[in-house]
Amino acid sequence: MIKDRPAMVNYLYDLVERIGNCTYATLHLEYLEKYVDIHFVQWLVWLFTPIIIVFVFPFVLFILFFLSALFVRAYRYRYRLREAYNRDVWDGARNTLATAWDALGWLWHGYEIVGLENIPESKEGGALIVFYHGAIPIDYYYILAKAILIKKRCIRSVGDHFLFKIPGWNLLMDVCHVFSGSFQLCVQYLKEGHLVALAPGGVLEAQFGDEDYRLVWGKRIGFAKVAIEAQVPIIPVFTQNLREAFRSVKTGRRWLRKVYEKTRLPVVPIYGGFPVKMRTYVGTPIPYDPNITPEELAKKTAEAIEKMILTYQRLPGSIFKALTDRVYEKPKLKNI
Protein backbone atom coordinates (compact mmCIF):
# COMPACT_ATOMS: atom_id res chain seq x y z
CA MET A 1 0.00 0.00 0.00
CA ILE A 2 1.41 3.38 -1.02
CA LYS A 3 0.87 6.30 1.37
CA ASP A 4 0.88 8.98 -1.36
CA ARG A 5 -2.26 7.54 -2.94
CA PRO A 6 -5.75 8.44 -1.71
CA ALA A 7 -7.33 5.87 0.59
CA MET A 8 -9.99 4.92 -1.99
CA VAL A 9 -7.37 4.26 -4.69
CA ASN A 10 -5.34 2.10 -2.28
CA TYR A 11 -8.49 0.19 -1.43
CA LEU A 12 -9.25 -0.47 -5.12
CA TYR A 13 -5.70 -1.63 -5.79
CA ASP A 14 -5.87 -3.95 -2.78
CA LEU A 15 -9.26 -5.29 -3.92
CA VAL A 16 -8.01 -6.03 -7.44
CA GLU A 17 -4.94 -7.79 -6.04
CA ARG A 18 -7.08 -9.95 -3.76
CA ILE A 19 -9.42 -10.88 -6.63
CA GLY A 20 -6.41 -11.78 -8.77
CA ASN A 21 -4.91 -13.96 -6.06
CA CYS A 22 -8.27 -15.61 -5.40
CA THR A 23 -8.79 -16.32 -9.12
CA TYR A 24 -5.28 -17.70 -9.44
CA ALA A 25 -5.85 -20.08 -6.54
CA THR A 26 -9.42 -21.02 -7.50
CA LEU A 27 -8.55 -21.91 -11.10
CA HIS A 28 -5.31 -23.60 -10.03
CA LEU A 29 -3.35 -21.61 -12.60
CA GLU A 30 -0.10 -22.67 -10.96
CA TYR A 31 -0.67 -26.12 -12.45
CA LEU A 32 -1.59 -24.64 -15.83
CA GLU A 33 1.69 -22.73 -15.94
CA LYS A 34 3.60 -25.99 -15.63
CA TYR A 35 2.14 -27.38 -18.85
CA VAL A 36 1.22 -24.29 -20.91
CA ASP A 37 3.45 -21.49 -22.06
CA ILE A 38 1.42 -18.43 -21.08
CA HIS A 39 3.46 -16.15 -23.31
CA PHE A 40 2.82 -18.46 -26.28
CA VAL A 41 -0.91 -18.38 -25.57
CA GLN A 42 -0.81 -14.58 -25.43
CA TRP A 43 0.99 -14.55 -28.78
CA LEU A 44 -1.65 -16.83 -30.30
CA VAL A 45 -4.40 -14.54 -29.02
CA TRP A 46 -2.63 -11.53 -30.54
CA LEU A 47 -2.16 -13.41 -33.83
CA PHE A 48 -5.73 -14.60 -34.27
CA THR A 49 -7.59 -11.57 -32.86
CA PRO A 50 -7.86 -9.79 -36.28
CA ILE A 51 -9.23 -12.98 -37.86
CA ILE A 52 -11.79 -13.38 -35.10
CA ILE A 53 -12.84 -9.75 -35.39
CA VAL A 54 -13.66 -9.92 -39.13
CA PHE A 55 -15.96 -12.88 -38.48
CA VAL A 56 -17.57 -11.13 -35.50
CA PHE A 57 -18.52 -7.98 -37.45
CA PRO A 58 -21.31 -9.69 -39.45
CA PHE A 59 -22.84 -10.80 -36.14
CA VAL A 60 -22.62 -7.20 -34.93
CA LEU A 61 -24.63 -6.18 -37.99
CA PHE A 62 -27.28 -8.78 -37.17
CA ILE A 63 -27.37 -7.41 -33.62
CA LEU A 64 -28.11 -3.99 -35.12
CA PHE A 65 -31.01 -5.57 -37.01
CA PHE A 66 -32.33 -7.12 -33.81
CA LEU A 67 -32.01 -3.74 -32.09
CA SER A 68 -33.98 -2.22 -34.98
CA ALA A 69 -36.63 -4.91 -34.56
CA LEU A 70 -36.68 -4.31 -30.80
CA PHE A 71 -37.10 -0.58 -31.40
CA VAL A 72 -40.07 -1.19 -33.70
CA ARG A 73 -41.72 -3.43 -31.11
CA ALA A 74 -41.13 -0.85 -28.39
CA TYR A 75 -42.53 1.78 -30.73
CA ARG A 76 -45.67 -0.29 -31.21
CA TYR A 77 -46.20 -0.66 -27.47
CA ARG A 78 -45.55 3.05 -27.01
CA TYR A 79 -48.76 3.67 -28.92
CA ARG A 80 -51.97 1.81 -28.63
CA LEU A 81 -52.65 -1.05 -30.99
CA ARG A 82 -55.06 0.90 -33.18
CA GLU A 83 -52.67 3.82 -33.50
CA ALA A 84 -49.79 1.47 -34.34
CA TYR A 85 -51.34 0.69 -37.69
CA ASN A 86 -51.81 4.33 -38.55
CA ARG A 87 -49.53 5.29 -41.45
CA ASP A 88 -48.22 8.46 -39.79
CA VAL A 89 -47.22 6.58 -36.65
CA TRP A 90 -45.13 4.05 -38.57
CA ASP A 91 -43.61 6.86 -40.62
CA GLY A 92 -42.09 8.12 -37.39
CA ALA A 93 -40.50 4.73 -36.72
CA ARG A 94 -39.20 4.47 -40.28
CA ASN A 95 -37.70 7.95 -40.17
CA THR A 96 -35.97 7.20 -36.87
CA LEU A 97 -34.44 3.98 -38.20
CA ALA A 98 -33.53 5.67 -41.49
CA THR A 99 -31.70 8.43 -39.63
CA ALA A 100 -29.75 5.87 -37.58
CA TRP A 101 -28.75 3.78 -40.62
CA ASP A 102 -27.89 6.88 -42.64
CA ALA A 103 -25.58 8.02 -39.83
CA LEU A 104 -23.98 4.58 -39.71
CA GLY A 105 -23.34 4.66 -43.47
CA TRP A 106 -21.78 8.11 -43.30
CA LEU A 107 -19.61 7.26 -40.30
CA TRP A 108 -18.45 3.74 -41.19
CA HIS A 109 -18.35 3.84 -44.98
CA GLY A 110 -18.30 7.52 -45.92
CA TYR A 111 -21.42 6.55 -47.83
CA GLU A 112 -22.60 8.60 -50.81
CA ILE A 113 -25.30 8.12 -53.41
CA VAL A 114 -25.02 9.44 -56.97
CA GLY A 115 -28.05 9.75 -59.25
CA LEU A 116 -30.75 9.80 -56.58
CA GLU A 117 -32.71 12.06 -58.92
CA ASN A 118 -33.23 9.00 -61.16
CA ILE A 119 -35.58 7.59 -58.54
CA PRO A 120 -39.01 9.06 -59.38
CA GLU A 121 -41.00 11.24 -57.02
CA SER A 122 -44.18 9.80 -55.54
CA LYS A 123 -46.37 11.65 -58.04
CA GLU A 124 -44.38 10.13 -60.93
CA GLY A 125 -45.53 6.59 -60.18
CA GLY A 126 -43.78 3.30 -59.58
CA ALA A 127 -40.48 1.86 -60.75
CA LEU A 128 -38.59 -1.40 -60.34
CA ILE A 129 -35.14 -0.95 -58.76
CA VAL A 130 -32.73 -3.76 -59.68
CA PHE A 131 -29.43 -4.00 -57.82
CA TYR A 132 -26.35 -6.20 -57.45
CA HIS A 133 -26.50 -8.34 -54.29
CA GLY A 134 -23.43 -8.20 -52.04
CA ALA A 135 -22.50 -10.79 -49.41
CA ILE A 136 -24.62 -8.63 -47.11
CA PRO A 137 -26.78 -6.07 -48.94
CA ILE A 138 -25.83 -3.30 -46.53
CA ASP A 139 -25.88 -0.82 -49.40
CA TYR A 140 -29.61 -1.36 -49.83
CA TYR A 141 -30.23 -0.30 -46.22
CA TYR A 142 -28.40 2.94 -46.92
CA ILE A 143 -30.32 3.43 -50.19
CA LEU A 144 -33.60 2.88 -48.36
CA ALA A 145 -32.58 5.39 -45.69
CA LYS A 146 -31.77 8.02 -48.34
CA ALA A 147 -35.07 7.39 -50.13
CA ILE A 148 -37.02 7.83 -46.89
CA LEU A 149 -35.15 10.92 -45.71
CA ILE A 150 -34.66 12.74 -49.03
CA LYS A 151 -37.26 11.43 -51.48
CA LYS A 152 -39.86 10.87 -48.74
CA ARG A 153 -40.60 7.46 -50.25
CA CYS A 154 -40.33 4.02 -48.66
CA ILE A 155 -39.14 1.36 -51.08
CA ARG A 156 -40.88 -2.00 -50.95
CA SER A 157 -38.32 -4.77 -51.31
CA VAL A 158 -38.36 -8.46 -52.10
CA GLY A 159 -36.76 -10.53 -49.34
CA ASP A 160 -35.80 -14.19 -49.22
CA HIS A 161 -38.13 -16.56 -47.36
CA PHE A 162 -35.60 -17.30 -44.61
CA LEU A 163 -35.75 -13.67 -43.41
CA PHE A 164 -39.33 -14.17 -42.27
CA LYS A 165 -38.31 -17.21 -40.20
CA ILE A 166 -35.91 -15.23 -38.00
CA PRO A 167 -37.53 -14.71 -34.57
CA GLY A 168 -38.54 -11.13 -33.87
CA TRP A 169 -38.06 -9.85 -37.42
CA ASN A 170 -41.62 -10.10 -38.76
CA LEU A 171 -42.75 -6.73 -37.46
CA LEU A 172 -39.56 -5.07 -38.73
CA MET A 173 -40.17 -6.62 -42.16
CA ASP A 174 -43.72 -5.24 -42.17
CA VAL A 175 -42.66 -1.74 -41.13
CA CYS A 176 -39.90 -1.65 -43.77
CA HIS A 177 -42.24 -3.12 -46.41
CA VAL A 178 -40.21 -6.27 -47.08
CA PHE A 179 -42.30 -9.02 -48.66
CA SER A 180 -41.70 -12.52 -50.01
CA GLY A 181 -41.98 -11.41 -53.63
CA SER A 182 -44.76 -13.19 -55.51
CA PHE A 183 -45.25 -12.11 -59.12
CA GLN A 184 -48.78 -10.86 -58.51
CA LEU A 185 -47.83 -8.83 -55.43
CA CYS A 186 -44.89 -7.17 -57.19
CA VAL A 187 -47.10 -6.15 -60.10
CA GLN A 188 -49.81 -4.91 -57.75
CA TYR A 189 -47.44 -2.65 -55.79
CA LEU A 190 -45.92 -1.24 -58.96
CA LYS A 191 -49.32 -0.50 -60.51
CA GLU A 192 -50.28 1.26 -57.28
CA GLY A 193 -47.35 3.61 -57.85
CA HIS A 194 -44.90 2.18 -55.30
CA LEU A 195 -41.17 1.63 -55.69
CA VAL A 196 -40.12 -2.03 -55.58
CA ALA A 197 -36.51 -3.17 -55.21
CA LEU A 198 -35.04 -6.61 -55.82
CA ALA A 199 -31.76 -8.34 -56.61
CA PRO A 200 -32.20 -11.02 -59.30
CA GLY A 201 -29.12 -12.85 -58.00
CA GLY A 202 -30.61 -13.08 -54.52
CA VAL A 203 -28.99 -15.26 -51.86
CA LEU A 204 -27.20 -17.24 -54.58
CA GLU A 205 -25.32 -14.14 -55.72
CA ALA A 206 -24.72 -13.07 -52.13
CA GLN A 207 -23.03 -16.34 -51.19
CA PHE A 208 -21.22 -17.32 -54.37
CA GLY A 209 -20.32 -13.96 -55.91
CA ASP A 210 -16.78 -12.66 -55.47
CA GLU A 211 -14.51 -9.65 -55.91
CA ASP A 212 -14.76 -9.99 -59.72
CA TYR A 213 -18.36 -8.74 -59.46
CA ARG A 214 -19.79 -11.13 -62.05
CA LEU A 215 -23.57 -11.26 -62.04
CA VAL A 216 -24.93 -14.58 -60.80
CA TRP A 217 -28.39 -14.36 -62.33
CA GLY A 218 -28.50 -17.48 -64.45
CA LYS A 219 -31.70 -17.44 -66.51
CA ARG A 220 -33.73 -15.46 -64.01
CA ILE A 221 -36.07 -13.17 -65.93
CA GLY A 222 -39.00 -12.93 -63.51
CA PHE A 223 -38.16 -9.33 -62.63
CA ALA A 224 -38.37 -8.40 -66.33
CA LYS A 225 -41.80 -10.02 -66.61
CA VAL A 226 -42.92 -8.00 -63.59
CA ALA A 227 -41.73 -4.70 -65.10
CA ILE A 228 -43.42 -5.43 -68.44
CA GLU A 229 -46.68 -6.50 -66.82
CA ALA A 230 -46.75 -3.41 -64.57
CA GLN A 231 -45.55 -1.15 -67.42
CA VAL A 232 -42.91 0.56 -65.29
CA PRO A 233 -39.24 1.47 -65.90
CA ILE A 234 -36.33 -0.50 -64.45
CA ILE A 235 -33.69 1.45 -62.53
CA PRO A 236 -30.26 -0.29 -62.45
CA VAL A 237 -28.25 0.26 -59.26
CA PHE A 238 -24.70 -0.65 -58.27
CA THR A 239 -22.60 0.14 -55.19
CA GLN A 240 -18.84 0.58 -55.45
CA ASN A 241 -16.71 -1.59 -53.09
CA LEU A 242 -19.72 -3.53 -51.84
CA ARG A 243 -17.80 -6.82 -51.93
CA GLU A 244 -14.93 -5.26 -50.03
CA ALA A 245 -17.15 -4.36 -47.07
CA PHE A 246 -18.27 -7.96 -46.55
CA ARG A 247 -17.10 -11.12 -48.28
CA SER A 248 -18.16 -14.75 -48.31
CA VAL A 249 -15.66 -17.52 -47.60
CA LYS A 250 -14.42 -19.32 -50.71
CA THR A 251 -13.31 -22.54 -49.02
CA GLY A 252 -15.63 -25.49 -49.65
CA ARG A 253 -17.92 -23.64 -52.04
CA ARG A 254 -18.74 -26.69 -54.17
CA TRP A 255 -19.99 -28.61 -51.16
CA LEU A 256 -21.76 -25.55 -49.73
CA ARG A 257 -23.42 -24.95 -53.11
CA LYS A 258 -24.95 -28.44 -52.93
CA VAL A 259 -26.15 -27.77 -49.38
CA TYR A 260 -27.70 -24.48 -50.50
CA GLU A 261 -29.47 -26.11 -53.46
CA LYS A 262 -31.11 -28.58 -51.07
CA THR A 263 -31.92 -26.26 -48.16
CA ARG A 264 -32.21 -22.82 -49.80
CA LEU A 265 -30.59 -21.38 -46.68
CA PRO A 266 -27.51 -19.09 -46.50
CA VAL A 267 -24.83 -21.55 -45.42
CA VAL A 268 -21.63 -19.80 -46.58
CA PRO A 269 -19.78 -18.01 -43.73
CA ILE A 270 -19.38 -14.26 -44.13
CA TYR A 271 -16.58 -12.08 -42.83
CA GLY A 272 -15.78 -8.39 -43.02
CA GLY A 273 -17.28 -5.20 -41.73
CA PHE A 274 -14.36 -3.27 -43.20
CA PRO A 275 -14.86 0.54 -43.22
CA VAL A 276 -14.30 0.84 -46.96
CA LYS A 277 -15.54 3.71 -49.10
CA MET A 278 -19.00 2.96 -50.47
CA ARG A 279 -20.76 4.91 -53.17
CA THR A 280 -24.04 3.90 -54.80
CA TYR A 281 -24.72 4.77 -58.43
CA VAL A 282 -28.35 4.97 -59.51
CA GLY A 283 -28.38 4.49 -63.26
CA THR A 284 -30.58 5.98 -65.94
CA PRO A 285 -34.00 4.27 -65.93
CA ILE A 286 -34.70 1.75 -68.68
CA PRO A 287 -38.13 2.89 -69.95
CA TYR A 288 -41.07 0.58 -70.47
CA ASP A 289 -41.19 -0.80 -74.00
CA PRO A 290 -44.31 -2.76 -75.00
CA ASN A 291 -42.42 -4.44 -77.85
CA ILE A 292 -39.57 -5.90 -75.79
CA THR A 293 -39.53 -9.50 -74.53
CA PRO A 294 -38.69 -10.46 -70.92
CA GLU A 295 -35.47 -12.12 -72.11
CA GLU A 296 -34.39 -8.98 -73.95
CA LEU A 297 -35.25 -6.72 -71.01
CA ALA A 298 -33.39 -8.96 -68.54
CA LYS A 299 -30.33 -8.90 -70.81
CA LYS A 300 -30.57 -5.13 -71.21
CA THR A 301 -30.73 -4.67 -67.43
CA ALA A 302 -27.78 -6.99 -66.84
CA GLU A 303 -25.73 -5.12 -69.43
CA ALA A 304 -26.57 -1.80 -67.76
CA ILE A 305 -25.34 -3.02 -64.36
CA GLU A 306 -22.26 -4.68 -65.88
CA LYS A 307 -21.41 -1.38 -67.58
CA MET A 308 -21.71 0.40 -64.22
CA ILE A 309 -19.39 -2.20 -62.65
CA LEU A 310 -16.78 -1.69 -65.37
CA THR A 311 -17.08 2.08 -65.06
CA TYR A 312 -17.04 2.55 -61.29
CA GLN A 313 -15.52 -0.58 -59.75
CA ARG A 314 -11.86 -1.54 -59.46
CA LEU A 315 -11.54 -5.12 -60.74
CA PRO A 316 -10.73 -7.35 -59.06
CA GLY A 317 -11.84 -5.66 -55.87
CA SER A 318 -9.18 -4.92 -53.25
CA ILE A 319 -10.01 -4.44 -49.57
CA PHE A 320 -6.84 -2.43 -48.95
CA LYS A 321 -7.42 -0.09 -51.90
CA ALA A 322 -11.08 0.26 -50.98
CA LEU A 323 -9.95 1.37 -47.52
CA THR A 324 -7.57 3.94 -49.01
CA ASP A 325 -10.49 5.29 -51.06
CA ARG A 326 -11.73 6.82 -47.80
CA VAL A 327 -8.69 9.12 -47.88
CA TYR A 328 -7.82 9.46 -51.55
CA GLU A 329 -9.56 8.26 -54.67
CA LYS A 330 -8.42 8.67 -58.24
CA PRO A 331 -10.82 10.67 -60.44
CA LYS A 332 -11.43 7.59 -62.58
CA LEU A 333 -10.87 4.04 -61.41
CA LYS A 334 -8.98 1.71 -63.68
CA ASN A 335 -9.73 -1.98 -63.89
CA ILE A 336 -6.43 -3.53 -62.82
Residue 314: half-sphere exposure toward Cβ, Cα within 13 Å: 22
Q: Do 178 and 159 contact (CB within 8 A), yes or no?
A: yes
The answer to whether 133 is a known catalytic residue is yes
Prior bond of 316 cis (ω within 30°): yes
* Beta strands 178-179; 127-131: pairing state: unpaired
- With contact defined as beta carbons under 8 Å apart, do 297 and 291 qualify? no
Q: What three-state secondary structure class fits 251? A: coil
Q: Which of 109, 133, 177, 194 is catalytic?
A: 133
54 and 249 Cβ atoms separated by less than 8 Å:
no
**From CA 30, how far away is CA 36, in angstroms rounded?**
10
CA–CA dist 140, 46 (Å, integer): 35
Q: Active-site residue numbers?
A: 133
